Amino acid sequence: MKRRSVLALGALALAGCSALPSKPKRQTMYDFGPQASEAAGAAPTRAALVLPDVEVSGILETPALLYRLGYDDPNELRPYAYARWSAPPGQLLRQRLRDVLGRERPVLDSAAGAALVRRGGSPPPVLRVELEEFSQLFESPTASQGVLRLRCTLLENTGGGERLLAQRSFNVQRAAPSADAPGGVRALAAATDAAAQDIAAWLQQR
């Protein structure tokens, strides 16, 4: 009787483990991968833009690769034990935004924007980005998607301070090709690329 109870508990433990996403068995570091190569074209013609560091808070300030179990407790953010980003998500997002937006215009950091003004140039507009969600959401043990949510605020840099020009939130989701950390990385990279394209299109209308 005791032996049967032990076996039953073991089976329940295995069943519980199967409900969680597959995890790497060694420490692994990820980024968004190389940008797709673009054919050489004309030099950027739009006005310069200042892109400060992406604003993040809490656990998004760390390189943790995060996921949620939507079918269990969607309010709990869980880090993969052996997988992480090569830099905090805000830094990776800013670099990808700079790559995409830089195809059409010079993209400056805050120091370069200030230096331009000191040299007598016009103050370039400022794009502030707040990263609010960046995680892999599991709808079931075998299906998940990368979820990215951010808010962009476009500001005019005037002598008396910054003036609001436009603001918009972006919520992008992309399906993960596998129910594990590598699948989440690919889904979040695809969501980031899509968000960068959406932001570029939004800026073109300003």
Task: Confirm whether 177 is domain-assigned.
Answer: yes
Write down the pLDDT at residue 30.
97
Tokens of 34: 């190389």
Task: Confirm whether 133 is domain-assigned.
Answer: yes
Write the DSSP string, 119-144.
TTPPPPPEEEEEEEEEEEEEEETTEE
- What value does the CA radius of gyration of the chain take, rounded to a whole number of Å? 21
Task: Confirm whether 34 is domain-assigned.
Answer: no
What CATH number has the domain bearing residue 96?
3.40.50.10610
Write down the pLDDT at residue 11.
39
| Structural domain count of the chain | 1
CB under 8 Å to 82, separation ≥6 — which residues?
A: 23, 24, 25, 26, 27, 28, 181
What is the rounded distance in angstroms from the CA atom of residue 52 to the CA atom of residue 56? 12
Average pLDDT per 10 consecutive residues for the chain, totaling 206 residues: 40 41 76 75 77 96 97 95 96 97 93 79 91 98 98 88 94 97 98 98 92
Task: Confirm whether 41 is domain-assigned.
Answer: no
Write down the pLDDT at residue 119.
83
Write down the pLDDT at residue 16.
38
**Residue range(s) defining the domain that contains residue 70:** 53-106+127-150+168-204
Write down the pLDDT at residue 118.
78
Task: Confirm whether 17 is domain-assigned.
Answer: no
Write down the pLDDT at residue 14.
35
Nearest residue to 107 via CA among 33, 154, 69, 51:
51
